[in-house]
């Protein structure tokens, strides 16, 4: 958690787990130097589907946060909404954002929506078909793997033209933060970034930032890069462990 000495006051509780969507919120909080309390959610035990948590996120997914606004407790769910909330409420000197209404603000919004509607869902499905499906369905593996690769190419070609190496302008923004955890997990989705040199450079440059380094390990160690050195057999053994709860969780959802 960041030091409160120079940070604006807040009453933030972050409900999160070690996933690409979860670490977006903690990286933004660390980049902003905001104090916050972390409440780790054990998603393999379906804590995110318990009634108390559904009061915070009716969708039963992490991340979500609570805070106090005008004396009332508020909730914010969906990682993109959390990033916008933190930027608009707490980033007054525009460390990870641009002033509302500027061309850069709309470019950040465009990339954020691109991540939320494209990269996250497509790579999530690539993970699903590659790692969690009980059978290997080639069509699904190829469809989502190829779509993830296409989206990486979009980023790579955009970053090739970026003078400062960020998605938008001269600074790291919530657009970069939203994409970073997904690109860091490329091996799990079965996608190599060897063909995307600008994307790889961006990934490493952001990794070197103290805010990313601290935020990525919330609420537990970020292990995405461990996968890069594993064989397909080793990755498959890891996937087997997670497949059980993913399948059970899907079956429970289907019964509701
Ligand atoms: N669009 C949502 C997606 C959230 C999401 O799918 N979270 C996953 C972890 S990355 C989760 O909570 N999974 C638990 C489950 O499926 O029950 C966001 O960006 O916040």
Helix (H) or strand (E) holding 60: none
Give the right CATH number for 13-90 from 2.60.40.10, 3.40.720.10, 1.10.10.10, 3.40.30.10: 3.40.30.10
Q: Of ligand 1's atoms, which has the minimum distance to the CA of residue 49?
A: 17
Measured distance CA(119)–CA(60) in Å, rounded: 21
CA 187 to chain CA centroid, nearest Å = 15
pTM score, two decimals?
Answer: 0.96
- The residue to mutate among 21, 45, 58, 224, having the most atoms of ligand 1 within 8 angstroms of its beta carbon, is 21
47 Cα: distance to centroid of ligand 1 (angstroms): 12
Residue span(s) of the chain under CATH 1.20.1050.10 come to 103-243
Q: Considering the domain 103-243 in this protein, what is its CATH number? A: 1.20.1050.10
Residue nearest to atom 16 of ligand 1 (CA): 61
Residue span(s) of the chain under CATH 3.40.30.10 come to 13-90
Q: Which residues contact 199 (CB under 8 A, 6 or more apart)?
A: 152, 155, 156, 159, 183, 193
Output the six-digit token pair for 85. Answer: 């909330």
| Chunked mean pLDDT (size 10), the chain, 256 residues | 52 98 98 98 96 98 97 97 98 98 98 98 98 96 98 98 98 99 98 97 98 98 97 96 92 88
**Residue 10 confidence (pLDDT):** 81
103 Cα: distance to centroid of ligand 1 (angstroms): 30
């Amino acid at each position: 958690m960041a030091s409160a000495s120079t940070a604006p006051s807040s009453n933030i509780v972050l409900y999160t787990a070690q996933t690409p969507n979860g670490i977006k919120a903690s990286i933004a909080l660390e980049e902003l130097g905001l104090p916050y309390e972390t409440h780790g959610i054990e998603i393999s035990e379906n804590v995110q589907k318990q009634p108390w948590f559904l009061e915070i996120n009716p969708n039963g997914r992490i991340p979500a946060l609570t805070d106090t606004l005008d004396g009332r407790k508020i909730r914010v769910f969906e990682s993109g909404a959390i990033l916008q909330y933190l930027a608009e409420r707490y980033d007054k000197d525009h460390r990870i954002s641009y002033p509302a209404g500027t061309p850069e603000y709309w470019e950040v919004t465009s990339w954020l929506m691109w991540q939320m509607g494209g990269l996250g869902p497509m790579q999530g499905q690539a993970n699903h078909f590659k790692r969690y499906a009980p059978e290997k369905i080639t069509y699904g593996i190829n469809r989502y793997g190829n779509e993830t690769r296409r989206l990486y190419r979009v980023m790579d070609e955009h970053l090739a033209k970026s003078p400062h190496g960020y998605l938008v302008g001269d600074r790291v923004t919530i657009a970069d933060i939203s994409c970073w955890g997904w690109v860091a997990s490329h091996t799990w989705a079965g996608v190599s970034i060897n063909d995307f040199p600008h994307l790889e450079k961006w990934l490493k440059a952001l990794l070197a930032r103290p805010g990313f380094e601290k935020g990525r390990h919330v609420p537990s160690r970020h292990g995405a890069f461990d996968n890069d050195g594993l064989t397909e057999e080793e990755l498959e053994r890891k996937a087997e462990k997670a497949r059980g709860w993913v399948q059970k969780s899907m079956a429970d959802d289907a019964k509701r």
